[in-house]
Amino acid sequence: MSQNNPTSAPYSRHQKWWRRRCAALFCGLLLSAAAALTLAQQNLPNMGEPADNALSPLEERAMGAGFMRQIRASVPLIRDVQLQEYIQDLGNQLALASGKTANTQFTFFIVEDKAINAFAIPGGYVGVNVGLVDAMELEGQLAAVMAHEVAHVTQRHHARSFALGARNNMSAAAAILAAIVIGQASPQAGQAALAAGLAATQQSQVNFTRANEVEADRIGIEILANAQYSASGMAESFSILRRANSLNTSAGALEYLRTHPLDNNRIAEARDRANTQKAFDQKPQTDYQLFKARLTVLTEKNAGQLIRRFKASFDKQPNIANTYGLSLLMLRENRLEQATRYINELKKLTGSHFITQLLETDLLLAQNKHRQASGKLQTLVELHPDRYSAVEKQITLLVSKRKLSDARNLANQYLRSAQQPNPRAWRELASIQQQLGEQAASHESLAQYFIGLNELYRAQSQLKLALRYVETASQDELRLQASLKNLLNRPY
């Protein structure tokens, strides 16, 4: 980048910040990998996979949990509940379609980074950058990239790479795997880590990775078809990535292509494989358009420029994306009359869609129509009991009205009924219980929150604190002691 470019200084500062964060992250990943290796001393049974000789499925999950703890602490993640719900729901469809979810609970997350990238972590964690979502035009194309990453997990490509590195020694293998993982999130940092004493294994790793990529393409296309997406989405996503790469003015290839090398053969093979799959009609794009527009609004720093962009698009032809984007922006700017106008237009385009109704409650709250907002939220919670985005808004409203018992009951109801509850619900419940003076219950709920994040040491600490507030030999003490013992016996 030219030194005369006025944006070069902030960009440089961002790069330096990212390098520092990646250096810290790499150290944490390496420690997590080394810690997970101690599980190898427990004489775990061989599950029959060649990679198990170096890294069993249990060890892989333990290592992935450690990696994810470091990422949560070191990488800017999108924490908006509605955006998290979308990416997790889409990912769950694909994971289920893989037919290999019996021993793996997948977690999908979004990294707040405009670079085009996606990556998988051992144990079922899949990250998608904001830049990748921006680049994909249709949901099926984003699903194709995510299916490819799901295939990396189900085919245990990290364990295979680890087994290859283990030919030298276990500590070197841990460093190699940590470098592979961080290299997916930040290729420069990963390459630097590999170069520091691990360069001797680099060529074999590259060759092995290319073989993994071909297999992930094949399995990913099968996953797409099983999830009833057009299998052509894989080749379409490749074409978008290649086009974006040709327009990339920065040095080198796109970050995604550095770790997922793309050539003519891969695109041709993806097209050929797609032709062997059952054809499906294009799925409705409403959810994806709402998701992309919300992601853009929450990650774009220049609100004025974004309003002008959406407004120009809306004036030309109203659609779901520009109308929802303008609705969000007008609400954020407290321009309630204009927000009402755009939300009414959005209702014409989406009907009684869940996200549109949730947006209406935001408008009602901004207009101080709390009773109407509460009624609408109650209906949404009853219709969509698994959607924490509605539950969270209702809990927040109840807490603001000091209806703490009702808020606690709603949180408990959600946690009992949801198939895969959002861990944040436990944290919210803990806060409510603390305000109600229920100290033991509050610490127990916080323990459940940390268990949901696989931060088991912090969960143990919370259970020990909870024990201070219960009577000796009581049922509460016995329950908490049993929970603590169960945690201490877990391998990770």
- Rounded Cα distance, 431 and 442, in Å: 7
Rg (CA), the chain: 24
CB 433 within 8 A of CB 463: no
The whole-angstrom separation of Cα 440 and Cα 427 is 14
For every residue of 354-421, DSSP letters joined together read: HHHHHHHHHHHHHTT-HHHHHHHHHHHHHH-TT-HHHHHHHHHHHHHTT-HHHHHHHHHHHHHH-SS-
* Average per-residue pLDDT for the chain: 81
Q: What average pLDDT does the segment 58-62 reach?
A: 79
CA atoms within 13 A on the CB side of 457: 3
On the question of pLDDT at 15 being above 90, the answer is no
Type of residue at 202: Q
Contact between residue 147 and residue 216 where contact means Cβ atoms under 8 Å apart:
no
Strand-strand pairing, 125-129 and 118-121:
antiparallel
Q: pTM for this one?
A: 0.82
Q: What is the pLDDT of residue 169?
A: 46
Within a 10 A sphere around the Cβ of 64, how many other Cβ atoms? 25
Give the pLDDT band (50/70/90) at residue 108.
Answer: very high
Is the pLDDT at 384 greater than 60, yes or no?
yes
What backbone torsions phi and psi does residue 229 show, to the nearest 5 degrees? Answer: -100, 150
Write down the pLDDT at residue 51.
53
Condensed to tens digits (0 to 9), the pLDDT of residues 159-196 reads: 766 666 554 444 544 555 555 555 555 544 444 444 44
Q: What percentage of residues in the chain have a pLDDT greater than 90?
A: 52
Please give the structure tokens belonging to residue 96.
């289920």
Of 186 and 346, more confident: 346
Q: Residues with Cβ < 8 Å from 157, sequence gap 6 or more?
A: 120, 212, 215, 216
Model confidence at 351, pLDDT cuts 50, 70, 90, reads very high
Answer for the pair 115, 130: CB distance below 8 angstroms, yes or no.
no
pLDDT for position 69: 86
Domain limits, the chain? 20-275, 438-492
Alpha-carbon distance 459 to 311, whole Å?
48
